[in-house]
A = this chain, B = another copy of it.
Amino acid sequence: MSAVACCAPLGAAVLSDDEAAATAGLFRALADPARVRIVNVLATSDGPVCVCNLTEPLGLTQPTVSHHMKKLLDAGLVEREQRGKWAYFSLTGEAFTTLARVADLKGAS
């Protein structure tokens, strides 16, 4: 997802087909209760979270968590860091600004 295409607010004065598709893709990445919970855990954590600490609170198997993480990574919402055998995840800086912008119906861009 390109930084330009992904950031068009819902209220943008002009919205191209590519921008609409990118915006829909971002919402699609969050259109799942498990991914909403994962993003919530990351948003409320002080630092990167080990994938090994996500399975139990979410009640999900590790392959399922990995599947959801891939969607969030592809959308540019999270980033991954390898520490020994474990992957650690955190929200990207862009996640904060992009989400707030895209959800802006007044298009103050």
A interface with B by C-beta (< 8 Å) = 10-13, 15, 17, 20-21, 23-25, 27-28, 30-37, 39-40, 43-44, 91, 95-96, 99-100, 102-107
Contact = CB atoms under 8 A, between A and B. Distances in A.
19 contacts: A10-B39, A10-B40, A10-B99, A15-B37, A15-B40, A17-B33, A20-B33, A20-B34, A20-B40, A24-B33, A24-B35, A27-B27, A27-B28, A28-B28, A39-B105, A43-B106, A96-B105, A100-B100, A100-B103
Given A31-B31, A43-B107, A103-B103, 4 more contacts: A12-B40, A20-B36, A27-B28, A91-B105
A64 B28 CA distance: 19
